[in-house]
Amino acid sequence: MPLAELTDFFIENGEKKFRAKQVYEWLWQKSARSFSEMTNLSKALRAKLEEDFLLTPIHADKVQHSNDGTIKTRFKLHDEHLIESVLIPVPSENRFTVCVSSQVGCSLTCSFCATGRMVRKRNLDAGEIYDQVSIVNEQSLEKFGHPLTNIVYMGMGEPLLAYKNVLKSVEHLTSPEGLNMSPKRITVSTAGIAKMIKRLADDGVKFNLALSLHAADDPKRNEIMPINEQNNLESLIDALKYFYKKTRNRITYEYIAFDHFNDSLEDAKALVKLCKHFPVKVNIIEYNPIDNAPFAKSGEDRLDKFARYLSQNDVQVTVRRSRGRDIDAACGQLANKE
């Protein structure tokens, strides 16, 4: 509920205007999950709020700890649906990242991703996305004595198909009345929906954008990502050019390396061409096996040659080693498994 509407409610009920700001701060700055926590309001007012409004916070249903320090949390929503978030700590780099979900399930059916095999039940609302960050931030403080430094929308679902709620969640996360995170520390990842990427540009977003690329030519991308049939590479590059021209925000290509599928020198050459249109960083990601998928992770030699070729051709490249694989928390593995 916007602050203006909340203010109207209090005025109409004979309360002081500032009460709305107090409640708003409890919800978005202090992450209160019940009216009873709002201790600077009278008991009568808290009872009135309880009567007139509903809070639907998410609750940790299961927490798993990986050998490498990664923590995966399965959350139960008010309607019994389940989603997952991951805390990825890198204390040596002072980086503590939360990977959040934006949908219950996913509708995109990418062949290498466990989430893509789930049915998309619904979009998460802004509060449910925000709650993931808030609760995982508490985990990070408790376990590592450090708040979150980065937020990535790379969990379950396609963020640009939950567009309005994702942007509203970012608004609360970056607001001084919310968690006051810098938008430069937030990255929204998409499998590639050209018209929505242009809409991000038109809406003047301040966060970073990542494209889950995973193949640098249309035939291969069509094979593993059905969305490419309606959003081919030409249309995506055109949309990303538009996004960069309007926002100057950082763009990243996420590229999972599959053994003998997209990790040859020819693939590297094709990828270099896609990196010439605007400044872009490439994150090469180790493939994480899922049940009944016909892929294997790229061998060390092939991966090194691939990355070296990019680097020699002036592409900024990072090879991301898998985190949380032993608890099914790594890229592409989120599927609410027991």
* Residues forming the active site: 84, 331
Q: How far apart are CA 323 and CA 328, in angstroms?
A: 9
* C-alpha count within 13 angstroms, C-beta hemisphere, residue 311: 11
- Which two tokens mark 48? 């009135």
Q: How far apart are CA 187 and CA 151, in angstroms?
A: 6
- Which two tokens mark 7? 């203010």
Element counts in the chain: helices (H) and strands (E) = 10, 12
* C-alpha count within 13 angstroms, C-beta hemisphere, residue 273: 10
Cα 213–266–116 angle (5° rounding)? 25
For residue 277, the Cα-to-chain-centroid distance in whole angstroms is 25
Query: Do the Cβ atoms of 154 and 331 come closer than 8 Å?
Result: yes
Query: Do the Cβ atoms of 299 and 261 come closer than 8 Å?
Result: no
The beta strand positions in 66-136, using DSSP E, are: 71-76, 82-90, 95-99, 103-104, 122-123
Q: Which residue has the tokens 């049940």?
A: 291
β partners of residue 210: 189, 252
Query: In this structure, what DSSP letter does residue 318 have?
Result: E
β-pairing, 150-153 with 95-99? parallel
β partners of residue 212: 254
